[in-house]
Structure formats: C-alpha cells, structure tokens
Amino acid sequence: MKNITTPISDEAIRDLKVGDSVALSGMMVTGRDAAHKWMIETFIKKTRPPQDDDLQVYEELKKLLKGSVIYHCGPVVTGLDTKDYKFIAAGPTTSIREEPYQADVMKHFNVKGVIGKGGMGPKTLKGCEETPGVYFHAIGGAASFLAQTVVKVHGVFKMDFGVPEAMWVIEVKDFPVVVTMDSHGGSQHAVIDESSKKVLDDLLTR
C-alpha cells in the first residue's frame, strides 16, 4: 500500500496506476451534486452570479483544493448545534452523477484526486489525464469505519445546501482507497463494462 499525503504532486499522481492501494492522509473536501453544480455555474461557466459569500468561499476553496482531493460523500455529522463537528458516517456516494462536471472542476481547481464509488466515465478519465489526477474507489458499506479515519473537521462551506450536500473540510489519516482510474488512460470501470457487455452479448445470442 502506498502512503500519500495531500497536497499531492503531479509526480506522485503520475506514479499511480490502476490497482494501486493507497492510504490517504491530509486535507480533503467533500462535494456532491449541489456543490459541483454550484462550482460549475458560478465560477467555471459563470452562468449565474455569485451570491452572498460565494466569492470568499471560492478563494478558500482554491487554496484547499489545489493538489488535494474531492470526496463524493454525504456524511452523517454530530455537533451541528455547537459546531463541534464530528463525522459518524462517511461512506462514498455514487460518482457517475458528477460526470458532467468533474473534469472541469478538476482542471479549474487543480484537484488531484476524486474519491467515490462506482467509477466515472470518459470525460472524467480524460480530465484525469490532462490535470493530471486519479479516481480513488472507496469501500461502499463501510461508512462508520471510514468516519474513523476523519481525525478533524476543520469547517464547512455552503451549509445552505444541507448537511449531506455541504462542502465539509476534513483532515483524514490513512483513508483506504484503490486507484481505479489513473492519469495514463487506465480505467478498471471501462474494462469491467466492456467484459460485462461481451458476456451479455454472448448470452443474448445463444
């Protein structure tokens, strides 16, 4: 297993290949549908004007995401009233919903890793080659275990999206993932899709 700490260099990303097991440590930011749509519309395509503190949040995110990781996660969080936040469940959510946005977000913010489950498509794979970056597959069904790797919740942005969709700034220690899409065009998900299609085609022609 490779131990990698954010921020991650281009050299470290290029060294990763599909199938590598990685223990991630350092800072990362959670982000799901609402967050990705907001980033694209407000700061990348600029189809909607910034609201309230959007520009301040943008400046903070540029610093936090540079060389770092976005985690597709809708956590269960305690301490909402006191702001003494603690993750008690932090499992990955299905990543393909972010396929329209992910590559553009990676390039704009220089994000080096995306964590989720289920993999992503060709647009994100191309983004991994160009940024460069990788897709890390996390363990589904292990939300409480993964929450134990979160050593500190440093803060949260866009709480108006709701707790699962907000952008939580977390520090992790030895977060276990596997590289399933790399910066060299490799995608385990594409391989599985192709092999599954061949099996299906064979069954349908019998």
Active-site residue numbers? 36
Strand 21-30 relative to strand 2-5, pairing: parallel
- Give the Cα separation of 107 and 118 in Å (integer): 21
The 8-class DSSP code of residue 97 comes to: G
The 8-class DSSP code of residue 91 comes to: -
CB 45 within 8 A of CB 26: no
For residue 33, the one-letter residue type is D
When computed from its CA atoms, the radius of gyration of the chain, rounded to whole angstroms, is 17
Residue written as token pair 């503190």? 53
- Give the Cα separation of 14 and 184 in Å (integer): 8
The 8-class DSSP code of residue 133 comes to: -
Nearest to 32 by CA among 147, 143, 164, 162: 164
Torsions phi, psi of 6, nearest 5? -75, 150
